[in-house]
Chain A
Amino acid sequence: MTDHSDDPDRIADLWLTQSQQALMDQLHSVFDAETRLREILLHSHHETATERLSTVLDVEAGLHGILRSHQAPPVLLTDEASPHGTDTAEILRTLSPAQRMALRSNPGVKEASRALSRDLDGVRDLSRPAGSDPVLAHRFRRDLYLRLAQTLARDLSLGIASGLSRARKRAWDLARDHMLAVNLDLAAESARRVARDILRPGNGTTPESTNVHELSALVDTLRLGRDRAYGLHPAIAREIDLARARTGDLRKAHTLYLADGHDHIQAYSVVIGTRIAEVGRAIGRALGREPLVADNDSLHALLDDFTTTDLSSVELAGIDLGGVHWSEHTTLWPPNVDIEAMKARSEQAPHGTGIWIIRSGTATIRDLVEK
Chain B
Amino acid sequence: MSTHDPADSPDISAAAPPDSLVHRFLTRRKADAQFSAFYRQHIRPLTGFLINHGECFQVAADMAQEVMTDAYRNWERITHPKAWVYKAASRALVRRIASVEEPVDTIPEPGDLLLRPDAIAEWEARHDALPLLRSLPIKQRQALAWTLAGFTPTDIAEQLGERTDNVRANLRLARRAAAAYLTAREEEQ
Q: Is the CB of A9 within 8 A of B179?
A: yes
Question: Quick one: given A40-B72, A127-B10, are A298 and B5 in contact (CB under 8 Å)?
Answer: no
Looking at the complex, which one of A13, A124, A298, A347 makes contact with B22 (CB distance below 8 Å)? Answer: A298
Question: Quick one: given A9-B179, A114-B1, A322-B1, are A41 and B72 in contact (CB under 8 Å)?
Answer: yes
Is A236's beta carbon under 8 Å from chain B? no
Is A99's beta carbon under 8 Å from chain B? no
Q: Is the CB of A295 within 8 A of B128?
A: no
Against A, the Cβ 8 Å flags (1 = close, 0 = not) of B35-75 are 11001100111011001100001000100010011001100
Is A35's beta carbon under 8 Å from chain B? yes
Looking at the complex, which one of B1, B36, B182 makes contact with A37 (CB distance below 8 Å)? Answer: B36
Give chain A residues whose Cβ lies under 8 Å from the Cβ of B36.
Answer: 37, 41
B-side interface mostly: helix
Size of chain B's interface in residues, with CB distance under 8 A?
A: 59
- Bound-state CA distance A232–B183 (Å) is 94
* Chain A residue, CB-CB nearest to B39: A37
Q: Is the CB of A44 within 8 A of B69?
A: yes
Is A29's beta carbon under 8 Å from chain B? yes
Give chain A residues whose Cβ lies under 8 Å from the Cβ of B35.
Answer: 41
- Bound-state CA distance A268–B128 (Å) is 69
* Chain B residue, CB-CB nearest to A43: B69
Q: Is the CB of B68 within 8 A of A117?
A: no
Q: Is the CB of B119 within 8 A of A360?
A: no
Q: Is the CB of B129 within 8 A of A19?
A: yes
Q: Is the CB of A24 within 8 A of B22?
A: no
Selected A-B contacts with CB under 8 Å, 23 pairs: A11-B179, A16-B144, A16-B148, A20-B129, A22-B127, A24-B45, A26-B123, A27-B47, A30-B120, A36-B113, A44-B72, A89-B21, A89-B24, A117-B1, A117-B3, A120-B9, A124-B4, A295-B13, A295-B22, A298-B20, A298-B25, A323-B3, A357-B3
* The 8 residue pairs across chains A and B that have the minimum distance between CB atoms: A323-B1, A19-B129, A8-B179, A12-B178, A295-B13, A12-B179, A27-B44, A89-B21
Excluding A8-B179, A297-B22, 7 further A-B contacts by CB distance (< 8 Å) are A23-B52, A27-B44, A30-B120, A113-B2, A295-B12, A297-B26, A299-B2
Q: Chain A residues in contact with chain B, CB under 8 A?
A: 8-9, 11-13, 15-17, 19-20, 22-24, 26-37, 39-41, 43-44, 87-89, 92, 104, 110, 113-114, 116-117, 120-121, 123-124, 127, 268, 272, 294-301, 303-304, 308, 322-324, 347, 349-350, 357, 359-360
